[in-house]
Amino acid sequence: MDWKGTLNLPKTDFPMKANLTEREPKFLEFWEKEKIYQRILKKRANAPSYILHDGPPYANEHIHLGTALNKILKDIIVKSKSMAGYKVPFIPGWDCHGLPIELKVEQELGVKRGELPPLMIRSACKKYAEKYINIQREEFKRLGVFAKWDTPYLTMDFSYEAVIAREFLRFLETDQVYRRKKPVFWCPNCVTALAEAEVEYELHKSPSIYVKFLLTEETQKFLNNFLNIKIFEPISILIWTTTPWTLPANLAIAFNPDLDYLLIKWDEEYLIVAEGRISALCAELNKDLPKIISRFKPKELENKKVYHPFYEKESLIILADFVTLETGTGIVHIAPGHGEEDYQIGLKYNLEIYVPVDQEGNFYPHIPLVGGLNIYKANEIILEALKKREKLFYYDTIEHSYPHCWRCKNPIIFRAEYQWFISMSAKNLREKALKNIENVKFIPSWGKNRLSSMLEKRPDWCISRQRVWGVPLTVFKCSNCGEYLKEYKYYEKVIKTIEKEGCDPWFEKPSNELLPQNTTCPKCGNPNFEKEKDILDVWFDSGVSFAGVLEKIPELRFPADLYLEGSDQHRGWFHSSLLCSVGTRGVAPYKEILTHGFVVDAQGRKMSKSLGNVIHPQDLIEEYGAEIIRLWVSAEDYKNDIKISKEILTRLVEAYRKIRNTCRFLIGNLYDFNPKKDLISFEKLPEFERYILYRLSKLIDKVKKSYEKFEFHIVYHEIHRFCVIELSSLIIDINRDYLYCEKPKSFKRRATQTVFYYALDSLVKLMAPILSFTAEDIWQNLPYEKEEISVFLTDFPSYSFELTEKEIQKWEKYLELRTEFLKPLEIARKDKKIIGSSLEAEMFVKADSNLIPYLSNNSFWEYFLMIAKFELKDFLPKPNKNKEVYYISEEIKGLEINVKATSFKKCERCWQRRPEVGTLEIPDLCQRCYEVIKFL
């Protein structure tokens, strides 16, 4: 007789194989069609809101794993906060302006900067950004991310552009903006400023010259005194440079305050150089060691003077940390208009940002000696002049890495141009920003230190760019007296225009059409004005998103609860947002900042084309499904670098299957269970079932707390572990007999189903923020009536199944004992080969008195160990070594175990070995099954 038909075997259509790649789109469709995210928001309409403000990704390429990771983390938060009872309106955004797109567009059109009218470039840029916004939006959606995809914020929206301009004007009218020269990369051939991204480094042959700067009489007098020497012959300070043409712009020479310098006599000349360069110089200049007169620290020389090598003027001696012993003489010639470091140190010493070179690389006509000459021609003239005046100590040429223009491939120069700045000090922006982040919570906590140390050191913010794809610096300048209009009243019309038509009118309309009628200069009364040509740094665009989004959209709120980005954004968006917000609102735009690391390969190295270790999310979706990417995001601790590799993914797929299959088993065994009628109250449940439910409520607590703390890897680990241990290994394995073999409506079976019901209900909700597709899949396959049409409309479970401390301890002891009992069973199976299934085993146990209370219920242990017979004995007879196992526990003192094969016959229905099998009316069956069969 085949008894299988009399069993209550699991039934479900929920497939074991996830087939994620194929099935995921169906759930996406379901969410979209049923407007699930909108429904969630509607359901939480009156709930307290949680504002996670999306940092806008740049719309110029497909998403990569980093962008995917970031958005999935945000999605996990949106979903978990929502299921924890908050209203979470999530407005995605895109950063649209800026150089990378403008460059890409120029490249695609095959034009150089300035070759096309700004409006044409701008329109092409807009199209380009739109294209990638649409691509990225679909890619984000494909990952299962919930958001208001139909109403994102774009920094190129007219309304947003108007906000950018308005916020800039707030800085302007509060006197936090100023204009000053600053060196930038400059291509004299293309007659344009270059961004760092437009610079290529290539080998270039330059002059290498050592130039003497003669001490002034006063300085020499001081030095004689200072070093206690008497030298009346000329003393010179030796510097090294590869750009003789910057010497006309020289305003200072810099020593490193920490280095030692020497006064030496070399070829009858008195010179000053760094001690650490002497031997290198001897080799380089092919000279013998000099005679050393004196050694000194340069601090005392600060603010003393030397003579310019060929102009009738003086140059200042200053101190600068960036001077090194790597090359040259340890003393650096400073031209603040022609180098970044020169500029910075120039600001410190209040030097002029002096630029004698025009935009095409020619000296202005009035400059002595080199006026009107191109810088390369000037190099020759300057060399001649130096020789003539005996200021050239040594001349050579070197080949070194030098910046070139990526378009015309010519060498470029550093040249100061007027730029706009937001002052860190005018209105105490730095101090205010530092003060405000004290109230911000950082995860991880070191983020605060990182952000504040950047704020402490950063220079004034250069916000102007000489480009067209962006929001203009809306400033009018009086054409007569040069006065800038600062009051907002002059700009209301411009802002309104931008709101309606975008920024194009600024580029095409004359200023009198943008200004209010009859505007005249408040200073000189002149009616004509010039528009500023530069545009704003894109970091300003996204930096004011609190104004363009949080303040603008009614369901949002300023400040936000959370900003969540990669750790690079300490210098980026966290930073610019803070400055913009503090500078105009006086407070930080966020209450909490969460940062994640970067995606790296198995060895912890960054992903790069050259290393060939780049993994694309698109490929992973195709091979594994988006769900596995989501699981990966959750499983890794994002506070550090986040590794990804084939092995990691394989492990995750396996873990995924375990979770899925466990749920499948629960579903399959609840096909005839109606929670409304069949649920058994916790108090009435048997002990083991109560213990599992207690463990379940511990899991729920832990998982909910971990979501709150944004520790998603804990969520993943806990859920997975619960499926493996409490469910699969314990209650499913042990109670399977009840499910299959007892009467369908029996207490034992319903009790087990009750546990299954709670476990499944909890798991599906707890996993939903991470395993969104699978949770929805499970939800749709629940065999009983559902409270909502989507799992995302439900709340996290809040069951609390408590046991007394005594009960908990007892069960921990039971499990400890169980582990010990399984060991001799395994020996019986593997070594002695006397049993296969544990059901074939009989176990006899001798134990110390302290263990007796746990072991006195024989039938419980038969059930709990799934064996044929368990007996507690006072004494164990000598075992037959071939046919029995005798085992003394090492872990639990005083526990001796004897295992042998049972002689009981197997019940053909439930496969248990029972003494009564063969003695009943139906000899195939055990007593229990006999009764069940009779009942059926």
By CB under 7 A, what part of segment 622-641 binds RNA?
635-637, 640-641
* Residues from 829 through 858 that contact RNA (CB under 7 A): 829-830, 833, 836-837
Stretch of 19-27, 518-526, 603-611, 782-790 lying at the interface with RNA (CB under 7 A): 603-611
Q: Which of 658, 743, 813, 846 binds RNA (CB under 7 A)?
A: 658
- Minimum distance between the CB of residue 608 and RNA, rounded to whole angstroms? 8
The 77-116 contact track toward RNA, x by CB under 7 A, reads ----------------------------------------
- Minimum distance between the CB of residue 91 and RNA, rounded to whole angstroms? 25
Decide whether 158 or 671 has the Cβ nearer to RNA. Answer: 671
- Minimum distance between the CB of residue 772 and RNA, rounded to whole angstroms? 19
Helical residues (DSSP H) of 389-445, grouped into ranges: 429-436
Peptide bond into 559 cis (omega under 30): yes
Q: How far is CA 180 from CA 346, 466, 467, 513, 643, in A?
A: 13, 14, 18, 28, 45
- Minimum distance between the CB of residue 727 and RNA, rounded to whole angstroms? 7
Q: Which of 389, 651, 709, 893 binds RNA (CB under 7 A)?
A: 651
**Would you give the DSSP letter of residue 182?**
E
* Residues from 722 through 781 that contact RNA (CB under 7 A): 724-725, 728-729, 732-733, 736-737, 740-741
Q: Which of 47, 111, 434, 714 binds RNA (CB under 7 A)?
A: 714
Q: Which of 598, 747, 784, 854 binds RNA (CB under 7 A)?
A: 598
Cβ(798)–Cβ(761) below 8 Å: no
Question: Rule CB under 7 A: is residue 3 a binding residue for RNA?
Answer: yes
Stretch of 6-14, 86-94, 236-244, 406-414 lying at the interface with RNA (CB under 7 A): 6-14
Decide whether 193 or 478 has the Cβ nearer to RNA. Answer: 193
Stretch of 5-13, 210-218, 435-443, 765-773 lying at the interface with RNA (CB under 7 A): 5-13
In terms of Cβ atoms closer than 10 Å to its own Cβ (0-12, 13-18, 19+), residue 825 is buried
Cβ(672)–Cβ(788) below 8 Å: no
* CA-wise closest residue to 1 among 725, 784, 930: 930
- Minimum distance between the CB of residue 203 and RNA, rounded to whole angstroms? 19
CA 495 to chain centre: 34
For the chain, helix (H) and strand (E) counts, in that order, are 31, 32
Question: Rule CB under 7 A: is residue 664 a binding residue for RNA?
Answer: yes
Q: Which of 142, 182, 720, 869 binds RNA (CB under 7 A)?
A: 720
Contacts of 80 (CB under 8 A, 6+ apart): 707, 769, 796
Q: Which two tokens mark 42?
A: 């509607």
Write down how long the chain is. Answer: 936
Q: How many Cα atoms occupy the beta-carbon half-sphere of 108 within 13 Å?
A: 11
* Residues from 384 through 443 that contact RNA (CB under 7 A): none
Q: Which of 289, 398, 454, 852 binds RNA (CB under 7 A)?
A: 454
Distance between CA atoms of 507 and 468, rounded to whole angstroms?
Answer: 9
Contacts of 482 (CB under 8 A, 6+ apart): none
Q: How far is CA 489 from CA 164, 494, 525, in A?
A: 17, 10, 16
Question: Rule CB under 7 A: is residue 655 a binding residue for RNA?
Answer: yes
Stretch of 424-432, 645-653, 697-705, 753-761 lying at the interface with RNA (CB under 7 A): 645-653
Question: Rule CB under 7 A: is residue 619 a binding residue for RNA?
Answer: no
Question: Rule CB under 7 A: is residue 597 a binding residue for RNA?
Answer: yes
- Minimum distance between the CB of residue 386 and RNA, rounded to whole angstroms? 28
List, as own/partner pairs, every contact residues 702-706 make where C-beta atoms lie below 8 angstroms and the sequence separation is at least 24, other chains included. 703/766, 704/84, 704/766, 704/796
Q: Which two tokens mark 566?
A: 């990669």
Q: How far is CA 585 from CA 368, 558, 580, in A?
A: 51, 10, 8
Decide whether 8 or 362 has the Cβ nearer to RNA. Answer: 8
Q: State the number of binding residues for RNA (CB under 7 A).
A: 78
Stretch of 10-18, 20-28, 77-85, 358-366 lying at the interface with RNA (CB under 7 A): 10-18
Stretch of 154-162, 178-186, 294-302, 713-721 lying at the interface with RNA (CB under 7 A): 713-721
* Phi, psi for residue 394 in degrees, rounded to 5: -160, 145
Q: Which of 453, 526, 800, 857 binds RNA (CB under 7 A)?
A: 453
* Residues from 513 through 552 that contact RNA (CB under 7 A): none
The SS3 of residue 96 is coil
Question: Rule CB under 7 A: is residue 819 a binding residue for RNA?
Answer: yes
Question: Rule CB under 7 A: is residue 647 a binding residue for RNA?
Answer: yes
Q: Which of 822, 857, 923, 934 binds RNA (CB under 7 A)?
A: 822
Decide whether 470 or 824 has the Cβ nearer to RNA. Answer: 824
* Residues from 307 through 346 that contact RNA (CB under 7 A): 322, 340-341
* Phi, psi for residue 640 in degrees, rounded to 5: -100, -170
Q: DSSP per residue over 713-777, as a string?
A: HHHHHHHHHHIIIIIIIIIIHHHHHHHHHS-TT-HHHHHHHHHHHHHHHHHHHHHTTTSHHHHHH
Q: Which of 239, 278, 475, 600 binds RNA (CB under 7 A)?
A: 600
Question: Rule CB under 7 A: is residue 605 a binding residue for RNA?
Answer: yes
- Minimum distance between the CB of residue 899 and RNA, rounded to whole angstroms? 12
Q: How many Cα atoms occupy the beta-carbon half-sphere of 814 within 13 Å?
A: 20
- Minimum distance between the CB of residue 725 and RNA, rounded to whole angstroms? 6
* Residues from 557 through 576 that contact RNA (CB under 7 A): 566-568, 570-571
Stretch of 143-151, 160-168, 222-230, 659-667 lying at the interface with RNA (CB under 7 A): 659-667
Decide whether 89 or 597 has the Cβ nearer to RNA. Answer: 597
Cβ(732)–Cβ(662) below 8 Å: yes
Decide whether 621 or 633 has the Cβ nearer to RNA. Answer: 633
The 241-280 contact track toward RNA, x by CB under 7 A, reads ----------------------------------------
Q: Which two tokens mark 612?
A: 């060939």
* CA-wise closest residue to 870 among 892, 841, 849: 841
* Residues from 901 through 920 that contact RNA (CB under 7 A): 908-911
Stretch of 139-147, 413-421, 826-834, 870-878 lying at the interface with RNA (CB under 7 A): 826-834
Contacts of 580 (CB under 8 A, 6+ apart): 167, 540, 543, 544, 546, 547, 589
Cβ atoms within 10 A of the Cβ of 6, count?
15
* Residues from 666 through 695 that contact RNA (CB under 7 A): 668
Q: How far is CA 478 from CA 180, 509, 709, 713, 823, in A?
A: 17, 17, 55, 60, 92
Decide whether 453 or 800 has the Cβ nearer to RNA. Answer: 453
Contacts of 136 (CB under 8 A, 6+ apart): 57, 59, 62, 63, 67, 94
- Minimum distance between the CB of residue 29 and RNA, rounded to whole angstroms? 25
Cβ(91)–Cβ(97) below 8 Å: no
